[in-house]
Amino acid sequence: MNLSWQWSRLEELSALQWHEVGVLRQTVFVVEQACPYPDLDQLDPVSLHLLGRDEAGQLQACLRLVPAGMKFDAPSIGRVVTSAQARGTGAGKALMLEGLAEHRRRYPGQPNRIAGQLYLRGFYESLGFVPFSDIYLEDDIEHINMAWMPAH
């Protein structure tokens, strides 16, 4: 799936664009994963948001890049999500590669730390992330903290 990318701060997104993000995140994180939790949180206003749209302009993937000191001591990619129709097309990998490229531009030489869902550990390891915590439950879903260092 070929996606076009848009980086924006929350205040730069229109109400309709932010609604699309909320619908996608709730569809996956709350409905599909049967996990009622406050998806929209205090990190959204301080983060950069990456939106990936298909050729028809439909939102298929998004993530946020959280500054250091807000979730971890380093910048953090989070709320990584792809639509059901984008899964298995390489869209998730493309999304993360774009997220890591922006991380390199904004935070050269700094690590990125994530709280990844355990079932995606192999996916994140394929991108160079390394676990640095034990497995823990967050909202009744197994997670593991992982770190990524940019190549020099």
- Residue ranges per structural domain of the chain: 4-148
Q: What is the mean pLDDT of residues 47-75?
A: 97
4-148 folds as Aminopeptidase (3.40.630)
pLDDT of amino acid 53:
98
Cα 25 to its chain centre, rounded Å, is: 10
Q: What is the mean pLDDT of residues 25-47?
A: 92
Q: How do 112-117 and 130-131 pair as beta strands? A: unpaired
Angle, vertex CA 6, rays to CA 58 and CA 55, nearest 5? 35
Residues 112 and 76: their CA atoms lie apart, in Å, by 5
Model-level pTM? Answer: 0.95
Reported as a single tens digit per residue, the pLDDT across 121-135 is 999 999 999 999 999
Reported as a single tens digit per residue, the pLDDT across 67-106 is 999 999 999 999 999 999 999 999 999 999 999 999 999 9
pLDDT of amino acid 152:
63
